[in-house]
Chains A and B, each alone.
Chain A
Amino acid sequence: MIIEAIIINGLMLGAIYSLLALGFTLIYGVSGVVNMAHGSLFMLAAYVFFVFTFQFPIGIFWASIVAVLATGIFGSILYRLLINPIINDEVAVLVVTVCAALILEQAVILQFGSYRKAVPSFVAGYVEILGVKVTYSMILAFIASLILFLILGIFLSKSKVGRAMRAVSQDREAAMLIGINTERLCMMTMAISAAIASIAGILITASKTGIAYPDMWQHPLYLSFAIVILGGLGSIKGTPIGAFIIAYAELAFMYLVPGAMSLAGAVVMAVMVLVLLIRPKGLFGKRIEME
């Protein structure tokens, strides 16, 4: 019973996590930015979704659209104002994006209070697969993630912008020499990354957790970098693999070790630390460190 639960839930979770981590690795690959506010974008989307399904209900579909757009715009502004000016200093970018995340958290507390807010699910009802209760929302989320991931994959390999992104992530200077406007591309990447994070945010809150709370930005952030580091920085292929491994590790831990809810997050981080120390490249990473 537990094993099936782990397997089925792991599939769902892994798919959504892939999406989340993809956004993170995309912005890192293209602009070298480790965006500590990635989880905040996730959170922002969840809250906007909440606002437009509860406070000003315009239907789940439109609420999602608004949430994605709002997050995308916010991400672009964040990049333009705060990240771009200091993009050469990795450490400064880290600190500044953490600052942005903190500001957003405080803003959320000011606006919505620090208690959890219930977020409606997409579709009511559930089905039993292999003896495990699977809500229609989760199935929807799963399918949506897969489709989106596929679309993004095609976008990256076939479209002009996508190919430009891959070029810049491989060799920034060479890309500039070919005439790619890296700065504009980075802005675009950021917008896409934010949009992806927002979609993941809506999918997870609406289909799985059902709640939004002010420090919900931390877990997705830590997940994102654990996944990306495990899968290999800069590797699109490694991301879903890393995502499923992490998803299953998290679930296995939660189901099999009783009362270890809080430890699950710690386990994810411990995995990340181990990977960084033993094999910093991750499974399929491309970055080479000179030292």
Chain B
Amino acid sequence: MVKRYFRAAYLSFLVHVVDIPPRFFAFLIFIIFLLFPITGPPESILLMMIIANLMAIYGASWDLLVGRTGQISLGHALFFGIGAYATALLYVYLNLQPWATIFIAALIGFVIALLIGFPCLRVKGPYLALVTMAFPLIMTGVVYYFKDITGGERGIYGIPRLFPFLNYNQQRFAEYYFTLILMLISSIIIYKIANSKTGIVFLSILDDELASKACGINVTKYKIMAFAISGLFASLAGAVNAHILSSASAASFTLTISFMPVIITIFGGIGTIYGPISAAYVLQILDRYLLYKVINVSTEWRTIIYVVIVIVLILKWPRGIARTAVDKLKDLEEARPVEVVYKKMKKKEESSGGSIHAPS
């Protein structure tokens, strides 16, 4: 929330005082992201930004599900881990290259989400949360048990990097741009879905499922749809992550990984999509750079800090997590689904002289 005020204040400053329109500001940030590797940052910083790109995708995927339909998943690590193992196993057993396997892994995540979504999304709130928490656990057990296939507790090592043909220094460079583009494309897709007609239906489910049903909406179908899209992008993030780290292990199924998108999304503003994306970067920089390199804070204290901030943010929301989702939409300077609609209609009215009333 502090972040939100900061951002709003700063945007406001730029817009009103310095007179930069918000679109331009976003463009500026994009240029910075594009050019910063050229300044020759150390590999650890590049790696940090690469991970941030992936966490942005992961966080946005969670936000689409939880922030827009209100279906809570506390086990998103399931998809992250499935993405990692799928891409690893496809390499080990079928010798496919990362360029193919990461997208196949994303599809596998999509299909798995469909399969488990179908029975699971019929239960509500806390039950759904419990069920989603169960799956990564089950997967951990499966992965440990079939250790001949999955490498057990060690995991799978030696997975190829994305650009093995480049020399060592250039690899992180290339990986950064690759993940950046991936993040941009994924974010745009997720954002567009969230603000489409389907997105309106998602929000109706968030607001009032019973009323949505009365409007003829097959609520379960839409929930599964959101779940599946979310799973697809989460798996994609997990798969690419495996190639960045060159390994896949059961650490991808831990509660910590499940909780990451929760922290990112709550920090950034649930339901906004762009909130979690921004927060992913802020948190990575905070975590990896500030609290690790600059002030050396231990892993445990860092976790405690983030978790405490999450608690504080939640306690400040009288309307509850899921409902605050759409509140944030009111702060947007960008187009809401209906403002786009209104602009379209205005254009038509001007061109055809139609009888559409304009609100005063």
Q: In the complex they form, do A and B come into direct contact, defined as C-beta atoms under 8 angstroms apart?
A: yes
Q: State in angstroms the CA–CA spacing of A30 and B61 once bound together.
A: 35
Evaluate contact between A95 and B321: CB separation under 8 angstroms: yes
Q: Which of A95, A222, A289 touches B124 (beta carbons < 8 Å)?
A: A289
| B: interface residue count bin | 35 or more
Evaluate contact between A107 and B123: CB separation under 8 angstroms: no
Q: State in angstroms the CA–CA spacing of A91 and B314 once bound together.
A: 10
Contact with A along B100-140 (1 / 0, CB 8 A): 00000000000000000001101111110111011101111
Evaluate contact between A222 and B137: CB separation under 8 angstroms: yes
A171-198: which residues lie under 8 A (CB-CB) from chain B? none
Evaluate contact between B262 and A95: CB separation under 8 angstroms: yes
In the complex, the chain A residue whose C-beta lies closest to that of B263 is: A99
Cβ-based interface call for B303 (8 A): yes
A233-291: which residues lie under 8 A (CB-CB) from chain B? 259-260, 262-267, 269-270, 272-273, 276-277, 280, 289, 291
Q: How far does the Cβ of B317 sit from chain A's closest Cβ, in whole Å?
A: 7
By a CB distance below 8 angstroms, the chain A residues around B300 are 106-107, 109-110
In the complex, the chain B residue whose C-beta lies closest to that of A278 is: B119
Cβ-based interface call for A150 (8 A): no
Evaluate contact between A34 and B314: CB separation under 8 angstroms: no
By a CB distance below 8 angstroms, the chain B residues around A95 are 74, 262, 266, 310, 314, 321
By a CB distance below 8 angstroms, the chain A residues around B144 are 262-263
Cβ-based interface call for B9 (8 A): no
By a CB distance below 8 angstroms, the chain B residues around A82 are 311, 315
Evaluate contact between B138 and A34: CB separation under 8 angstroms: no
By a CB distance below 8 angstroms, the chain B residues around A170 are none
B323-341: which residues lie under 8 A (CB-CB) from chain A? none
By a CB distance below 8 angstroms, the chain B residues around A259 are 145
By a CB distance below 8 angstroms, the chain A residues around B125 are 90-91
Evaluate contact between B141 and A265: CB separation under 8 angstroms: yes
If A95-B310, A263-B145, A266-B142 touch, whether A89 touches B137 (CB-CB below 8 Å) is: no
Q: Which of A85, A99, A103, A259 has the most chain B CB atoms inside 10 A of its CB?
A: A99
If A92-B320, A289-B124 touch, whether A265 touches B301 (CB-CB below 8 Å) is: no
If A109-B300, A266-B141, A277-B119 touch, whether A103 touches B126 (CB-CB below 8 Å) is: no
Cβ-based interface call for A159 (8 A): no
Cβ-based interface call for B285 (8 A): no
Q: Which of A100, A106, A109, A264 has the most chain B CB atoms inside 10 A of its CB?
A: A106
Q: Which of A91, A102, A289 touches B72 (beta carbons < 8 Å)?
A: A91
Given contacts A86-B315, A96-B314, A266-B138, 7 further A-B contacts (CB under 8 A): A91-B320, A100-B311, A103-B303, A266-B145, A269-B135, A273-B134, A277-B122
**B: which residues have CB within 8 A of A?**
72, 74, 119-120, 122-127, 129-131, 133-135, 137-142, 144-145, 209, 255-256, 259, 262, 266, 298, 300-301, 303-304, 307-308, 310-311, 314-315, 317, 320-322
16 A–B contacts from the bound complex (CB under 8 Å): A34-B130, A89-B321, A91-B126, A94-B72, A95-B310, A98-B255, A102-B304, A103-B303, A222-B134, A266-B138, A266-B139, A267-B141, A273-B135, A276-B131, A277-B119, A277-B123
**A: which residues have CB within 8 A of B?**
34, 82, 85-86, 88-92, 94-96, 98-100, 102-103, 106-107, 109-110, 218, 222, 225, 229, 259-260, 262-267, 269-270, 272-273, 276-277, 280, 289, 291
